[in-house]
Every structure is written in structure tokens, then in C-alpha cells.
Amino acid sequence: MTPATRYEMQILQSDMRMLIAIDDAAIELFPGAATSSDVAGKPYAVLHTDSLATLSGWREVMQAGGRPHRLVNNVYGYRQEVNNPDW
């Protein structure tokens, strides 16, 4: 598990190719968990950073592509869902 960081962004694993130059140590991959109706969930990735500039760059790319993502500020317990992430 990656050490606690100030910020994180959760995205679908299939969207990782949109973000270049990500440090592999800053990425956690999660398999899609089965839902209550035994439908497989979507695999997602959590990108960790302490840099607000890095987080903003990731956010711009995801928003420009209209892709779902979740932003988390671990210091303040803030969470924002963009484009209805469903994982």
C-alpha cells in the first residue's frame, strides 16, 4: 500500500493511458469488486500525490476527456465525484 498522501485521484484503470509520466510508486490498482447482484465491478486505480499542481494537471486531463474520476483531500476529508464514477 502506498503511504498516506495529501491528495489522491481515483480513475478507471483503462484511463491510466491518458496520464503520462506517473511514478509507479504513486499508483495503487484495485480489481473490480462484485456487486450485490454478482456483477463484476470496474477495476480502478488510485493515484497519490502531495502536490496540488500535479493533482490539478491530472484533473484537467480527465475533465477535458469527460472521464469519470474522484478527487480526495485526505487532510480535510474532502471528496468530490466528477462525471459520476461508478466503481
pTM for the predicted model, two decimal places: 0.82
What's the half-sphere exposure (Cβ side, CA atoms, 13 Å) at 77? 0
Close Cβ partners of 22 (under 8 Å, ≥ 6 residues apart)? 16, 47
Q: What's 52's DSSP letter?
A: H
- What confidence score (pLDDT) does residue 2 get? 52
- What confidence score (pLDDT) does residue 40 get? 66
Select from 3.20.20, 3.30.70, 2.30.110, 1.10.3470 the CATH code of 7-82.
3.30.70
Close Cβ partners of 31 (under 8 Å, ≥ 6 residues apart)? 41, 43
pLDDT digits (tens, 9 = 90+) for 11-63: 999 999 888 767 778 899 998 776 666 666 899 999 999 999 999 999 999 99
